[in-house]
Structure 1
């Protein structure tokens, strides 16, 4: 009989510990997401202001604002769906490489293998977006039961 009481206590303790652990993880996720969102908003505001005070080239600033927009959208999508949108990470990478390419061409004005490499990386990332989109439409992930 005492073994049953110990097993029942262990199961109840494990259930409480799991609930408490899940609560801590969710609280950490929300605090971290709010912090990341606030930092993105602050950085975007700083970038916006630097464009108007002419401390930065206009095209570079606009592309940085697009990067901040995509990062903010990623945080928002994660809040709504609890899933990290991989495509947005690829979009951020493509935008960052495009910014690098435009900056390199506008400052150096010299053809080089670096330009070809950056263009190849953008092409590979674009193909990756296509593959991710096709895979997500063909192999749609089923939603987990929320009642668990």
Structure 2
């Protein structure tokens, strides 16, 4: 398992890919795989840039509304935290080329907390207790999933730690050996 500091830089990987694609002995299948990987990477970047623009634009609109009101409510602040977490998740993808599932869970917890604090007050009294219990249970399950994901990543590593530049790992490398500790 490679540590982040041991991984090759993106420029080195890119230069190696470019050198490999120009080799005359490279088959058609390998060239098509290369083109497919590059196409998927370009699509990822375009979509992430568009999502980033939409998130920044929406957060800007929210700031404008807050400035017009002259004060920020708790629901406004929690909504801005959701935007911040979305941008952080996108930033992490650009730095590490990994989309952390934990950030999506953090966003879901923040959204449920916002709903619990802000919107549940407007619900009728008959439905109020069940809604509170359901949202609280969902937050608890999501929190437990973060603990489980973090624990399993520390114990067994992440699946992408065993991938070496889009290569499919063999089954013998999925779990670290007991002797390596």
TM over 0.5: yes
Gaps of 5+ in 2: 1-23, 168-181
Distance 1:100 1:86 in 2: 21
Instruction: Say yes or no: does 1:54 pair with 2:53.
Output: no
TM-score calculated relative to the size of structure 1: 0.82
The residue matched to 1:39 in structure 2 has which SS?
A: helix
Q: Deviations over 1:28-65 (max 9, x none)?
A: 11111111111111111111111222299611111010
Aligned to 2:39: 24
Q: Give the CA deviation at 1:119.
A: 0.9
User: Higher helix fraction: Structure 1 or Structure 2?
Assistant: 1
Matched-pair contact (CA < 8 Å) for 2:120–2:131: no
TM-score calculated relative to the size of structure 2: 0.68
CA separation of 1:131 and 1:102: change in aligned 2, threshold 3 A: same
Aligned to 2:115: 100
Q: Deviations over 1:65-106 (max 9, x none)?
A: 000111111111111111110110110000000110111344
CA RMSD of aligned residues (A): 2.5
Gaps of 5+ in 1: 1-8
Matched-pair contact (CA < 8 Å) for 2:116–2:135: yes
Aligned to 2:136: 119
Distance 2:121 2:72 in 1: 10
The size of the alignment, in residue pairs, is 139
CA separation of 1:41 and 1:143: change in aligned 2, threshold 3 A: farther
Matched-pair contact (CA < 8 Å) for 1:50–1:56: no
